[in-house]
Structure 1
């Protein structure tokens, strides 16, 4: 029988306490959201999905499970569920720093608050906290990768330096996209140009209904592909370089929307 006062620790709960300082790690700084509008967008999505949130405090030695239930009209106040363990609730109210971690569409979400107060919501005890100044939105490359539309491909503009030092702009079709990078197709003759670890600056593409995006791309993989019709091309896997968190949010919104539309069509809803 499960002890409600001491719920079983989920795998994430066992390991997350070892990674509570990633918000202050320079390696993750590009995944931080600073824009109030972007932060509210992510937090409102947590409310809508009813995502379970793990709250760590006492330097990661204690935690409780909760969910974000409500955001005030002015966006300044967050209301969280009370935990099932009264002792943990008491300790959480006394803590001067709490780290909230969860996932949203396979993307890790983490933020810190300097304290919580007790309040009521819908007639029940609840925690109240202020809107965080930053939110970490961390999507790894191994997470979901969306194959982009073939009929109307997204074009990626890549500035290529020729052997004589001159610059030319290549327009490549995007094959897929994720929170970590994109896949593009280029002519086989450009194998020497797209060597692994080569960085291309100021690459440009536009995500439908999201807008233009400019980023440096680093080649991580390159291999020839032959299509069913016998055509050949080079498939290049590229990783974003220093892409700001706000732009990653654009990518995730696009992926989520396209995937939702595809599932709706398959289920006959459209």
Structure 2
């Protein structure tokens, strides 16, 4: 799921006209499950993490060693400079910055202490309440119509049988789609992949491609209903269908700009 993501009312999304490919997409992730998934991937890839502390430019290069989702604790490497380590231990505002698949990740912790891991001293910090993902938009996108929204048809196969789930789209680009999850049988969690999905572009034809869920977050609709918004990335999108999407996106933007 790749889109401009904010913790906001979806009406704001519908009025978002910032489609420049030079803009930064910002996603605040509040779901503990999603945060845990991202942090575990950072740990598994042994990605370096920069820890800023004491509300200054001082930092320690570290990495995530262990995550305990039950106790909400994270173990990270301590620094080689004991003086820096002590200052970090006295700080109540810890900013962690790293990257994952070329996406900048940032989160804040407010508790830190010393612990032991594999017989050595390490830092122990609390689980962040939220996490921010930032990346440059790679594709020009449009917000789809609220009155006549585009639909994505996703084939679902279960032990009880096979059926097709219809999901409402909120945006479209050559890179993927944003959707609102209203279907009880769809699991929109980061990393999930759905094959042979179909999107009908009125006047242009059908798009067939796989979808990989990249990000999710909860939004509150105007009627008070809470649902999940997800950003999905196209998988194995044929060149001719990418061209079809580009033509459709361009046409819709022209229509919007026409007096």
Richer in strand (by share): 2
Larger RCO (CA under 8 A, 6+ residues apart): 2
Richer in helix (by share): 1
Superposition TM-score, scaled by structure 2 size: 0.50
Return the index of the structure with the highest Cα Rg: 1
Superposition TM-score, scaled by structure 1 size: 0.48
